[in-house]
Structure formats: structure tokens, C-alpha cells
Amino acid sequence: MADSFTLPLRPIHEKRERPDTLPVEIAQINNQWGSFREVNEDVLRNKIAEEEEKDGMDEVDESGQDATDLDSTERLEQLYKRRAEITQFAMQAHMETMFALDFVSLLLSKQSPRQAETSMSAFLKQVAPLGSLNAEVVNPPPKPESTTKDIAAVSRGWRIQNFNAAANKLLQAASRLETEVASETRYWNEVLAVKNKGWKISRLPREKQALGVQYGFLEATPVFRDRGLASLRRAEDGALLLDEGLIPSKARYVRVRVIQDGRLTGSSKPTRSSLDGDRTIEDRILQARDTVYEEELFHELVREARAIASLGVTTRQNLIQIPASDDLEVLLDLVDTDENTLQPEHDITQQGTSLAEGLAHTIRILLAYAHRQNLRRRTLLPPPLTPKTRSIPEQQLIRPALAYIKHMSHVRWLQSLLKDLFGVLQSADLELPAYTTRVFSTVRQRQTSPDPKVETLVGQFLTPLLSTFNGKILTPRGSFSIAIHTNLSSPPFGTTFDVSFNMPKYSDLQSPGKISHRDDVEAAITHLLLLDVVFTISSKSSPRSDRDQVKRTWEAIYPQHGELLLSPSKSEKRKKMKIALSRHELSLEIYTVRCIDGTGRGKCEHPSYHSVPHTWKPSIAGSPNQPSLMDFVSKV
């Protein structure tokens, strides 16, 4: 804008464009070359040839001279000569100037002798006394009438011409100002519209004349906080331009993809579809804000992913791979919003999509929460200044979400395990009381904290996750409880199962306590239920005992192996029962033993004559010919 700005009232010096230059030139040409009538092709050709020849001669001459005269001494001599010439000219000029100065000084010395004396040369002062020269105005001889007329006409024309030029310049300036005002009005109206929408408008710190809009997040990492300020420039026509500096104008977002069993089952959509073409300034500010948020999000995700590499998270240049649970894998990457129109995937499922969308929302909410925490930390009384700089801890973005996924996976696994085991027992007509499940039974924080509700809500999500399973077993007054802790934020990392049970019969039995492996948990629970079954069988007396007048009971000799022994009776051999419980079946086998105490094993055990291993499976639970465990036991 500044270069097209010309001050309309500056002195005019455009004399060359006067309309009478052409006649003058024509007269010149006529004088120099003769009339135009004599010009024809031959003459011109001759002229051209002549000129070329001359040029060629000159060149040849010069080159020849260069070749021959390129003697250093001669050149030097020439140089000295030229220099002397220049000096001579300069001296002469100086002398003439001094003469002129002396003359003027002498002339002035009549009027102001003191001042004139200073510029007089010493020689002149000696020779001529001060004030010896005077000047007077003489009336010029009267000019002829025609000359004065001419002069008047010329000056009049000259003046008119200047007035015209000045008027033009003024009109131009006026129209230019008009457009300028219009575009300024438009610019400021748009700035005002942006401000009225609630954006923060301020001067740029580096460039005091420019306005900027603050759309970033004050609590973001410094790099991204500083990028949250863009200047509002004015286009030629006054439209508002958002100058985002180095930020790519493309909208980008963090894409969450869920891979189940090696197939892509879900992918998150961009929060705001990129609009091309006519976008209002607010759309562009919003897009810039979103992009800066997404980039910060990805930056923080990568930082966190590096910190939790021990959980199997791998990072590449623009990709984070998180093995979430069993066969679920989550991929995070930063992509352009319009890149999402990939080839349609056939494996996309509703569940996968909702998981991906949920994860995408979770990490964004957690980043917003982290911003709030940053504000809180920033406004606390600062800790004492120390020479070492405090490192910024990684934000918790992936870990809570990952903990949730892992926790849910463990909870589902435990639920299915219990369902299987209870199903097996049910198929044998052993009715276990239902157990209670409290998923996410983390201790609720007291609502006395002054934090806003939403922060408390998110804060709970960051605490270690806990789910509890409580239930009763067949043994009277017996109970079990399993607590699943998942904690990825602070050591000890990972999931632990806290299995404890209360069996009055085996009071010296220790609860297994904290277990971190699924197989061990399964073994512990199965063992517990086996003990429970064994105890139930041994506590029920056999109905056939009334015939022999002796109370016959199965005695649990090795309950931990599931072995029971039938109390001795006169008529029968000792019998031994072996129960095995697994997730899939409950099997029972009867042996006849010869050993007196019944504890002997090995060759003196024989499978009972009428008993093949009897199994109960939940799949055939409905078959009517299946006797219940208790019936079977009592028949033996």
C-alpha cells in the first residue's frame, strides 16, 4: 500500500512529457539528416552497413590495441597521465570556485563586512579594501511587446497545466482515500465481529502495529501456547486474513483406529469436517484452534507413549501403537482431516467404531483436564527457585484409557470364568448363591473438594480402577471376594487380582492374596470351589447308612487333591472318590482301595467295578438322565 501512495502536492518535475517535444525532435532530425522525403530503403541499408562496419572496426581496433598495448608500464604511464589530468581539472575547478567566492564575498562586504570577511581569501583582503565593490539594481531595457505577451501566455499555460495536474492528483488521492476508508471499515467491522464472538483480540507482542487473535490454550505446553496467536492482516480490499505463520493451513486431527484380531474394526472421525472454499474468518480461527489442539494432543501422546514403552507401546514417526488387551490394538496417528476418505473397510463394526470414538473423546477430555491442572499448578505459590529446572511430567492421556480397557477385559474374563465354573457346578445340581459384582467400585471422593464437579468426575477416572466380586459358596458361612485393581499411573503398574476367601471348615487355609496372572487366578478359584465341593460331599451323610446302623460318611482325606474316603464298614471294601473340577467339567471317579487306612495310592487302587469316571458338563446339563452329584454320590 505504501509504495502506491503519492503525495499529490509535491513539486512537479515532469517536463519531458510536454506535447511540443515531437516537433522539436522532427526539426532536429531534419537538420541532422535532411528531409524525410529522401529516406528510402537503400539509404537506410547503407547506413546500417556503415554503422556495423564502424562498430566492427572499433572492436577490432580495441582488441588489437588491447593485444599490443597491454604493456604494464605504458598502462601505468597512462594512468598517471589521466590522474594528473583529473587533478588538474579539479584544481582548476577549485580555483574558479575560489574566484567566485572571492567575488561574491567582496560584493557582500559592502553590506555585511564582518560576515563576508570570513570567506575572503587572504590575497584579496590585502589587495582590495572591504566594501570596495557595490552592486545596484538596474532597470532592464523594456522588452518588446511580443516577448512579454509570449511570456505571459507561457506562464499562464504553465500554471493551468499545473493546476490540472494538481487537481488530478487530488482527485486520485480522494478516490484512493475513499477505497481505503471502505476497506478499513470492512476490516474493523470484521475484527469487531470476531471480537463480539468472544475471541480475544490483542496487539501482537513482536509487531506492535498489528492485531492478533488469541485462539490457543493458555495452559498448553509453551510451544503450543505461543502458537495459539495469529495476526489478523488486512487484504487489499479490506477482507480479514488470518496469518497463522508457520502453521500448515491444513486441518489435522488425531485419528484413533481400533484393530481387533488383526483387522481394522473401527476408526474415529474428525471432530470438524474441513470446509473448503468460502469459509468465514471464524471457521478459520476455529480450524486453527482445533489444529493446534490436535497437534498438542499428539505431541503429548507421543511423549507419554515413550514414557510407557514398558507396557509394550511403540512409537514411530507419526504413529503410536498400543497393545490394549488380548487381541485388541489401538493405533493413534495425526492425519489431515480430508484423508479419512479411505477405501471402505468391510470389517468395520459398530463396537469397534464406538470404541474408537470413545477413545478419541477420552484423550481429548483428558487433555482439557490436564490444561486445568496446569492452571492450578501455575497459580499455586511457586516453589523455591533452584538451579535445576523442573521437568514437565507427562500428561495422563493414554494410561487412564488403557487402564480402563485392560480393566474391563479382566473383569469380563473373570465374569466368564465364574460363569463357566458356576455352570459346571449347576450342571451337577450344586446351586451356588449368586455373586455380586461391583465394577468400578473405586472409593468415591468426598464432595467437599472445592473443585468443579466436572474436574472431580475426570479426576476419579485417573485414580486406580477397582472392581470387586463378592459371593457366598456352598459351605455355610463361607464366602469369597475377588478385587481387581488396575493402575497404570503409578507403580506397581498393571493389574492385580486380590483373591480372598473365608472357609470356616479349613480355617488354616490362607487366602492366595495378590495374584497378577490370569492362570493363577483361575487355578486359585477352581481350587477354592473344589474344596467347597469336597466339603459339601463330606458333610452330607449317605442315606444308605441307616441299613447298616452305622453313620457312613465320605471323609475328606486329601481335600486339596479332591479325594474322599468312605468310612469303613464291615461288608464293603473301602472306597475312594476323586473329584476334579475344571472350567469345563466336573469329573468324579470311584476307586476301591485295599489299604487299610485308605491313604495308600498307586497299585493298590483299582477303579471301582461299576464306576466309570463320571463327568458333568454344562452343555449337557439339560439332559434328564443326568443324575445330580449328590444323587450319584449317595448311590455309591
Binding segment for other proteins (CB under 8 A), chosen from 21-29, 108-116, 377-385, 543-551, is 377-385
Per-residue DSSP letters for 306-368? HHTGGGT-EEETTEEEEEEETTEEEEEEEEEGGGG--PPPS---HHHHHHHHHHHHHHHHHHH
- For 252, other C-beta atoms within 10 Å of its C-beta total 22
Residues 114-133 that bind other proteins (CB under 8 A): none
Min separation Cβ 450 and other proteins, Å: 11
Q: Does 378 bind other proteins (CB under 8 A)?
A: yes
CB of 227 within 8 A of CB of 292?
Answer: yes
Min separation Cβ 370 and other proteins, Å: 17
The alpha carbon of residue 250 and the mean position of all alpha carbons in its chain are separated, in whole angstroms, by 12
Min separation Cβ 364 and other proteins, Å: 22
Q: Does 443 bind other proteins (CB under 8 A)?
A: no
Binding segment for other proteins (CB under 8 A), chosen from 78-86, 229-237, 373-381, 412-420, is 373-381
Residue 460: exposure state from Cβ atoms within 10 A (0-12, 13-18, ≥19): middle
Q: Does 203 bind other proteins (CB under 8 A)?
A: no
Binding segment for other proteins (CB under 8 A), chosen from 242-250, 381-389, 562-570, 588-596, is 381-389
Here's the x/- map for other proteins, 445-474, by CB under 8 A: it reads as -x-x--------------------------
CB of 473 within 8 A of CB of 460?
Answer: no
Binding segment for other proteins (CB under 8 A), chosen from 337-345, 372-380, 407-415, 599-607, is 372-380
243, 257, 264, 519 from 328: Cα distances, Å = 42, 10, 10, 20
Q: Does 379 bind other proteins (CB under 8 A)?
A: yes
**What does the block give as the cell for 84?**
594528473
258, 325, 354, 635 from 347: Cα distances, Å = 11, 19, 14, 54
Binding segment for other proteins (CB under 8 A), chosen from 235-243, 371-379, 566-574, 614-622, is 371-379
Nearer to other proteins, 229 or 251 (CB): 229
Q: Does 2 bind other proteins (CB under 8 A)?
A: no
578, 625, 629 from 632: Cα distances, Å = 13, 12, 5
20, 158, 159 from 146: Cα distances, Å = 20, 18, 20
Question: Total residues at the site for other proteins (CB under 8 A)?
Answer: 14
Binding segment for other proteins (CB under 8 A), chosen from 336-344, 379-387, 407-415, 571-579, is 379-387
Nearest Cα residue to 422 out of 380, 470, 473? 473
Q: Does 507 bind other proteins (CB under 8 A)?
A: no
At 488, is the secondary structure helix, strand, or coil? coil
Nearer to other proteins, 377 or 412 (CB): 377
Min separation Cβ 246 and other proteins, Å: 24
The alpha carbon of residue 352 and the mean position of all alpha carbons in its chain are separated, in whole angstroms, by 24
331, 440, 516 from 323: Cα distances, Å = 9, 22, 18
Q: Does 387 bind other proteins (CB under 8 A)?
A: yes
CB of 526 within 8 A of CB of 421?
Answer: yes
Q: Does 384 bind other proteins (CB under 8 A)?
A: yes
Q: Does 381 bind other proteins (CB under 8 A)?
A: yes
Q: Find the helix or strand (DSSP H, E) in which 524 lies.
A: helix 518-539
**Site for other proteins (CB under 8 A): which residue of 127, 182, 210, 375?**
375
Nearer to other proteins, 4 or 386 (CB): 386
Nearer to other proteins, 378 or 547 (CB): 378
d(C-alpha 468, C-alpha 470), whole Å: 6
Q: Does 386 bind other proteins (CB under 8 A)?
A: yes
229 DSSP β-pair partners: 214
**Site for other proteins (CB under 8 A): which residue of 29, 43, 218, 457?**
218
| Residue in the structure block whose three cell numbers are 509570449 | 150
Nearer to other proteins, 380 or 596 (CB): 380
Q: Cis bond leading into 492, ω under 30°?
A: yes
**Site for other proteins (CB under 8 A): which residue of 385, 434, 443, 612?**
385
Q: Does 149 bind other proteins (CB under 8 A)?
A: no
Q: Does 198 bind other proteins (CB under 8 A)?
A: no
Nearer to other proteins, 200 or 303 (CB): 200
d(C-alpha 298, C-alpha 253), whole Å: 9
Q: Does 223 bind other proteins (CB under 8 A)?
A: no
228 phi/psi in degrees, rounded to 5: -80, 20
Residues 323-352 that bind other proteins (CB under 8 A): none
Nearer to other proteins, 228 or 559 (CB): 228
Q: Which residues bind other proteins (CB under 8 A)?
A: 218, 375, 378-387, 446, 448
